[in-house]
Chain A
């Protein structure tokens, strides 16, 4: 059974959201707090995953909520409110990256064959995820570092689909690309991250990860 088909963190938007949105539109701004409360962390997480800077991520999260508040009348119910928020946050974060970190991102060096398929480089056995994995800050930092090393187009798709749990279609819509492109980029993002993380997380818990020394496995 595929593991990623359903996620335990997947949130279905509350049906009462529609009522809250209506209240905000009808001149009751206090309802906006309640409306966004379930998504504050997710918006921050999306911004942080893309910028990897706490201050920027917090500022982007605030800007996102302000924009959502000001433009609440433009929200169309055909998409989920959370998706709309994440979309705003991702756009803000990408813009911030372009403005401030354009030259700081390390370009991705893909390992691919003649047809453009990504070929895994590392085949370390990594079957289990110890329960305390994400309790360790250094592990979270390694994960964030690995994510940063992806190219923007792969990282953005991965953030929306695998971290924010948007559907393939929602991810495509948020990024303005086709679902086929989402699938292709998602595949590469996942495989690249696995190549980066498997050697360390597959067993070498007490040692530094290989990529942390500047040696990329591909």
Chain B
């Protein structure tokens, strides 16, 4: 069997695939030995197949795998993500609200140290009172109910309230609101 250049070009791809009749293959190989141009075409085509078939041909961008997995995760666990998102949002809201409340309470009236404090009224803001570091109440000087005498501080009533101290129900009794109300009722002309 003898083949010409046209036939070789038509079959060159099948030749490289190995998808060719053995007789035609032999004829083509004979032709390649004799025809420099067809040999160049065959070798160049083979090189094309080799080059493009190499996995180095195309670079994958940096971080590609990570971004792919992240997007898959978003799709696979939408409820988990939305729940997590809700949790994060709720936590953030709580944090903001809590911070605001904390700031507001500490600036305006202080966080109460005692859960059972009674409200008071009419306490002179600049009145000097006694507080202890571990205590909950502020006292008038000389009050017998002052505890922890080793860690006492003297502050103005305004600062004591700001720090969360509440009036001693004994030495500050006259300022307690219940008493004040009673006092107002009893002596309305004073108001």
> A: which residues have CB within 8 A of B?
2-5, 7, 9, 29, 32-33, 40-41, 44-45, 48-49, 54, 58, 61-62, 65-66, 69-70, 113, 117-120, 123-127, 129, 133-135, 140, 143-144, 147, 158, 162-163, 165, 168, 183, 186-187, 190-191, 193-194, 197-198, 201-202
> Considering only CB atoms, which chain B residue lies closest to A139 in the complex?
B51
Q: Which residue of A lies closest to B58 (CB)?
A: A45
* B67 CB contacts on chain A under 8 angstroms: 58, 62
Closest 5 CB pairs of A and B: A187-B13, A5-B18, A194-B44, A45-B58, A126-B44
Q: List 13 A-B contacts (CB under 8 A).
A: A4-B50, A40-B60, A54-B61, A61-B68, A66-B75, A124-B44, A125-B36, A134-B56, A168-B17, A190-B48, A198-B44, A201-B47, A202-B44
Q: Within 8 Å of chain A (Cβ to Cβ): is B1?
A: no
**CB atoms of A117 and B6 under 8 A apart:** yes
The verdict on B191 contacting chain A, using a C-beta distance below 8 Å, is: no
Q: Is the interface of B mostly helix, strand, loop or mixed?
A: helix
Interface presence of B69 (CB below 8 A): yes
A117-B61 Cα distance, complex, nearest whole Å: 39
Question: Considering residues A48, A140, A187, which has the most beta carbons from chain B within 10 angstroms of its beta carbon?
Answer: A187
**Inside 8 A of A3's CB, which chain B residues have their CB?**
16, 46, 49-50
B68 and A5 within 8 A (CB): no
Interface contact B60-A140, CB-CB below 8 Å: no
Which listed residue, A45, A144, A191, touches B9 by the CB 8 Å rule?
A191
Interface residues of B in 148-178 (CB under 8 A from A): none
A189 to B140, CA, bound (A): 100
Instruction: Give A61 to B68 CA distance when docked, in angstroms.
Output: 8
- How many angstroms from the CA of A3 to the CA of B9 in the assembled complex? 17
Compute how far the CA of A193 lies from the CA of B50 in the bound complex, rounded to whole angstroms: 12
Closest to A191 in B: B45
Taking CB atoms, residues of chain B closer than 8 Å to A127 are: 43
Chain A residues with Cβ below 8 Å from B36 are 123, 125
Whole-angstrom distance between the Cβ of B49 and the nearest chain A Cβ = 4
